[in-house]
């Protein structure tokens, strides 16, 4: 009889079978992926970024390829929170029987509070993941996530209208990620998700113009993984709330590395766009990777690199 390998982790009091979570914007609402494999094997998933009003998104082209990654500027295309609740979650429920993570974006503090309050009432939702990398329309377009004060303000507003655990998803496009994470923790955040995409750009040599209509976009993929490890490590050292780590994750070994840095769970993003079976493959590969590195229980290694 082989050794029992335990991949379970507890995320703010909710136990999940494994720490693998497809990242928001790379997995839709799950039902397209459910045609390919049983998505109930995942820990959970973070659904597409949801805003108060419907959004068409940015003009095309929205995607640019680059070495060891990609750049995207989709622009939060989504049907708005009311339609997400009345249509998307109904379709999702038919294929996914676990709690899901609701990813929320906004352009004002009121937007965030409104959308989170609506999603907090949905039985399917286990956690709220609040993306503070959106431009603050009242603050001149800088994202809420670039200032500790603004990130804390969003955190307080959301916590005031919700009962479910709130993870604040931080932008890495800052000089001091720790001060922003600490401000969110002090404002009542239950956890931190990081990192979101870095800011990147490509220029077409033939047209001599930016490849993406939006000029710049979110740079993701394996190239950003070391930045993710560094930021997760720094935030884990400074904060005592759980972290969901992400950024260029493409293997079971990457998952273990981010957990050693301090992540309780790990999101997989760009990799899903390259290989729709990426998360399934990582979940399947986890037990043998754990065995290889002498890990019986995944929860035992969270933050072990700090010891």
149-173: per-residue pLDDT in tens?
999 999 999 999 999 999 999 999 9
Name the residues annotated as catalytic. 134
As its CATH architecture, domain 9-306 has Alpha-Beta Barrel (3.20)
pLDDT of residue 26: 95
The count of other CB atoms within 10 Å of the CB of residue 296 is 12
Q: Tell me which residue of 228, 273, 277 sits closest to 249, measured CA to CA.
A: 228
Tell me the average pLDDT across 42-54.
97
Question: Residue 209 is encoded by which pair of tokens?
Answer: 């113009």
Residue 2 has a pLDDT of: 59
pLDDT score recorded for residue 1? 45
Are 198 and 227 a contacting pair, CB within 8 Å?
yes
Its pTM stands at 0.96
Extract long-range pairs of 139-144: CB within 8 Å, 24+ residues apart: 143/171, 143/173
pLDDT at 140: 67
Q: For 118-139, write each residue's pLDDT tens digit.
A: 999 999 999 999 999 877 777 7
Closest by Cα among 168, 84, 75 to 119: 84
229 pLDDT above the threshold of 70: yes
Question: What does the mean pLDDT of the chain come to?
Answer: 95
- The pLDDT > 70 percentage for the chain reads 98
Distance CA 68, CA 151 (A): 30
For residue 60, pLDDT over 60 is answered with yes
- Structure confidence by residue, pLDDT tens digits, 259-297: 999 999 999 999 999 999 999 999 999 999 999 999 999
User: What is the structure's pLDDT at 75?
Assistant: 86
Alpha carbon 127 to its chain centroid, in Å, reads 12
């Amino acid at each position: 009889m082989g050794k029992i390998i335990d991949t379970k982790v507890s995320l703010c009091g909710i136990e999940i079978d494994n720490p693998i979570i497809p990242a928001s914007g790379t997995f839709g609402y799950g039902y397209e992926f459910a045609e390919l494999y049983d998505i109930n094997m995942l820990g959970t998933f973070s659904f597409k970024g949801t805003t108060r009003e419907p959004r068409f998104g940015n003009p095309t082209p929205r995607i640019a390829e680059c070495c060891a990654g990609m750049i995207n500027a989709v622009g939060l295309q989504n049907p708005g929170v009311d339609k997400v609740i009345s249509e998307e979650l109904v379709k999702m429920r038919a294929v996914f029987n676990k709690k899901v993570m609701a990813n929320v974006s906004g352009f004002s503090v009121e937007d965030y509070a409104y959308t989170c309050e609506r999603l907090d009432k949905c039985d399917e939702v286990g956690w709220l993941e609040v993306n503070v990398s959106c431009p603050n329309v009242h603050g001149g377009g800088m994202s809420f996530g670039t200032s500790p004060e603004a990130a804390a303000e969003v955190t307080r507003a959301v916590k005031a209208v919700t009962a479910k655990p709130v993870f604040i998803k931080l932008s890495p496009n800052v000089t001091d990620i720790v001060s922003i994470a600490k401000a969110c923790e002090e404002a009542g955040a239950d956890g931190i998700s990081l990192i979101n995409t870095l800011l990147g750009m490509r220029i077409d040599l033939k047209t001599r113009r930016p490849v993406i209509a939006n000029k710049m976009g979110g740079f993701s993929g394996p190239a950003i993984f070391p930045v993710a490890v560094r930021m997760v490590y720094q935030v884990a050292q400074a904060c005592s709330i759980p972290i969901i780590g992400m950024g260029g994750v493409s293997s079971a070994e990457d998952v273990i590395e981010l957990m050693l840095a301090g992540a309780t769970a790990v999101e997989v993003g760009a990799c899903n766009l390259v290989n729709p079976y990426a998360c399934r493959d990582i979940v399947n590969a986890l037990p043998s990777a754990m065995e290889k590195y002498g890990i019986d229980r995944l929860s035992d290694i969270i933050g072990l690199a700090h010891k």
